[in-house]
Amino acid sequence: MIYFDYRFMEVARPIIEHEQYQQMKKIKHHDESVYDHSVKVAFYAYQIAYKHNMDWKATIRGALLHDFFLYKFNKSLSLKIIPDSIKHAIVHPIIAFYNANKYFDLNEKEENIIKAHMFPFGFPKSKEAWIVSYVDKYIATFEYASNFKKMVYKRKHPVYNI
Ligand SMILES: [Fe+2]
Ligand SMILES: [Fe+2]
């Protein structure tokens, strides 16, 4: 469905077909790859932005690049003053922006969509940035739940761990 929406694809194609962006297919995130997660967030955020007459092009571009961090985040179980997951939550929007800015020309709104998507660790300055932050959390919740279900299933059925 996503890849058949010509309006979405016209804006998304130059980003998702970029060699560096394709690298995100190899990085697992929640229950799938960062690539799949980002395209999904961009598509749902775009649908809301388009329906409400907002800047849907900036919404697509900002959302596609919101997690453009290109490394595998590993949670450490060791006790630390600041847990790794909090550090990741604070730092990855900045890294995503750094990478995005290196390969693509971003406007101010797109920059803020990326940097502020982890609200309250950043502050969205536009309706579009609020939408992306909300859609990202909404989708991540389902991805976490799906990943958790799979983990429980594997524990109960170790034979499938092969
Ligand atoms: Fe993120
Ligand atoms: Fe995300």
Q: Is the pLDDT of residue 78 over 60?
A: no
Q: Of 153, 145, 116, 118, give the one whose Cα is nearest residue 32.
A: 145
Query: What's the gap in Å between 155 CA and the centre of ligand 1?
Result: 28
Asked if omega into 14 is within 30° of 0 (cis), the reply is no
Query: What's the gap in Å between 119 CA and the centre of ligand 2?
Result: 12
| CA dist., res. 114 & res. 97, Å (int) | 6
Average pLDDT, the chain: 90
The ligand placed nearest to the CA atom of residue 115 is 1
Query: What's the gap in Å between 159 CA and the centre of ligand 2?
Result: 32
**What's the pLDDT at 77?**
52
The ligand placed nearest to the CA atom of residue 38 is 2
Query: What's the gap in Å between 152 CA and the centre of ligand 2?
Result: 23
The ligand placed nearest to the CA atom of residue 63 is 2
Structure confidence at residue 86 as a pLDDT band (50, 70, 90): confident
Query: What's the gap in Å between 53 CA and the centre of ligand 1?
Result: 25
**What's the pLDDT at 79?**
60
Query: What's the gap in Å between 67 CA and the centre of ligand 2?
Result: 5
Q: Of 68, 2, 58, give the one whose Cα is nearest residue 33.
A: 68
More confident residue, 2 or 6: 6
**What's the pLDDT at 1?**
76
Query: What's the gap in Å between 156 CA and the centre of ligand 1?
Result: 31
Domain range list for the chain? 2-161
**What's the pLDDT at 155?**
74
**What's the pLDDT at 72?**
72
Among 28-32, 40-44, 67-71, 118-122, the minimum mean pLDDT is found in: 28-32
Q: Is the pLDDT of residue 154 over 90?
A: no
For domain 2-161, give its CATH number from 1.10.3210, 1.20.1740, 2.40.128, 3.30.70.
1.10.3210
- What is the number of H-type helices and E-type strands within the chain? 7, 2
Per-residue model confidence as pLDDT tens digits over 88-113: 899 999 999 999 999 999 999 999 99
Q: Is the pLDDT of residue 76 over 70?
A: no
